[in-house]
Structure 1
Amino acid sequence: MIRNATKNDAKRVIELLNLAMDNIAFTLSGTTDIKISNTILEEFFRSTNNRLSYENILVFEFKNEVIGAICIYESKMAKELDIAFINRLKSLGIEPNIKVECDTQNNELYIDSIAVDENHRGKGVAKQLIEASFLRAKELGINLSLLVDEAKSDVKSYYKRVGFKPCGNKEILNHKYIYMIKEIK
């Protein structure tokens, strides 16, 4: 079952999204200590008006366990959603290195991150989370977009199979990505 995340999902959702975020989690939290990073990101998850807020997360629940999560938000809100992270990092004396990933000129529903528990992969969980996001994009009257690591050709192929089309390239923190869109038509 897909549902909106609640504050109570913090620990599990951050654990899952870490599978997708890699080092971005450390950039957002300002630490490379995984336990401290998780605690910080869980606090952001429980709060509002930031990219990792429970407000921007859909979860897939199976037998009362969250086994998948997707973080989505309107791209026009991206800069505003990063302010909380930037302010926290500055308060610690850390120069923020947070880059807006999505296209802020054409408003789209942006998939920031998606992750499925390793024991439940290959069962259509990600596909259902993407479809739920696509339905939300349709309700808003905007396209659905995401970035895919250029080196992950299998992931790019998967997104093509579920209706995304490559629309350009983007470099973030010296890493190359393919920008993909699923049009609402």
Structure 2
Amino acid sequence: MVKIEKAVPNQASIIAGLIMEAMNHDCCRYFAGPHHSLADFHAFMTKLVAREDTQYSYRNTLVAIDNGRVVGCCVSYDGKLLRELRKAFIEEALKTFNMDHSDMQDETQAGELYIDSLAVLADYRGQGIATLLLKSTCQKAKEMGLPAGLLVDKGNPKAEQLYRRLGFEYVNDTAWGSHPMRHLQKTMS
């Protein structure tokens, strides 16, 4: 039986890999630059997940556990903290990859619990684990008194269908990293 729990630091490597799946590997390559591999980016993300002061921190992550194994994760944080939490990503990318991402656009803002990354291991997909993670994250939003918000790639109608089925509604069209996106939100009552 799959359980949803708060992440812990020693899960950083598997969480980093799941976040990279959520980002997609082209995006990971972009952030790492032309002289670094996906393995380099994985090491970079593992470091960020293990920290307490980053948007990808284990402290902002719920994990799905099956027989002691992390099989999925959902990273979320208060949108008003994005710029503060993103500083570590920008500083580490400059130090590790010599890439300056300080001009990155904001994908969220104050007034929502932003769902940054959601991913489930390939052999566990289709079993309702993403739904469990999202429901737990929406409970977190409710406890914070915020709606839950996310961006979904317009080219990923299957994901959008899941979000809408769980009560997320269209807010507006946007773009992130040159990808056309839809901003969806679920109001908690």
Identity, in percent, stands at 27
Question: Is it true that 1:33 corresponds to 2:22 in the alignment?
Answer: no
Paired AA for residue 25 in structure 1: C
Aligned to 1:6: 8
Aligned to 2:106: 100
> Residue deviations 1:92-149, cap 9 Å, x none?
54221533211x1x42111001001111111110001001001111100000000000
TM-score by length of 1: 0.92
CA distance in 1, matches of 2:136, 2:151: 18
Aligned to 2:159: 155
TM-score by length of 2: 0.90
Aligned to 2:17: 15
| 1:119 aligned to which of 115, 120, 123 | 123
Shift in Å, 1:32:
4.3
Aligned residues of 1:29 and 1:85 also touching (Cα < 8 A) = no
Question: Is it true that 1:43 corresponds to 2:47 in the alignment?
Answer: yes
How many residues align? The count is 183
Paired AA for residue 106 in structure 2: V
Question: Is it true that 1:138 corresponds to 2:168 in the alignment?
Answer: no
Q: 1:27 to 1:7 in 2, by over 3 A?
A: farther
**Structure 1 regions of 5+ residues with no counterpart?**
none
Paired AA for residue 95 in structure 1: D
Paired AA for residue 94 in structure 2: K
CA distance in 2, matches of 1:49, 1:20: 21
**Structure 2 regions of 5+ residues with no counterpart?**
none
CA distance in 1, matches of 2:133, 2:126: 13
Poorly superposed stretches of 4+, deviation over 4 Å: 27-32
Q: 1:112 to 1:151 in 2, by over 3 A?
A: same
> Residue deviations 1:148-182, cap 9 Å, x none?
00111222112111110011011122210000001
Q: CA RMSD in A?
A: 1.6
Aligned residues of 2:31 and 2:99 also touching (Cα < 8 A) = no
> Residue deviations 1:38-59, cap 9 Å, x none?
1111011111111111111100
Aligned to 2:86: 82
Aligned residues of 1:28 and 1:85 also touching (Cα < 8 A) = no
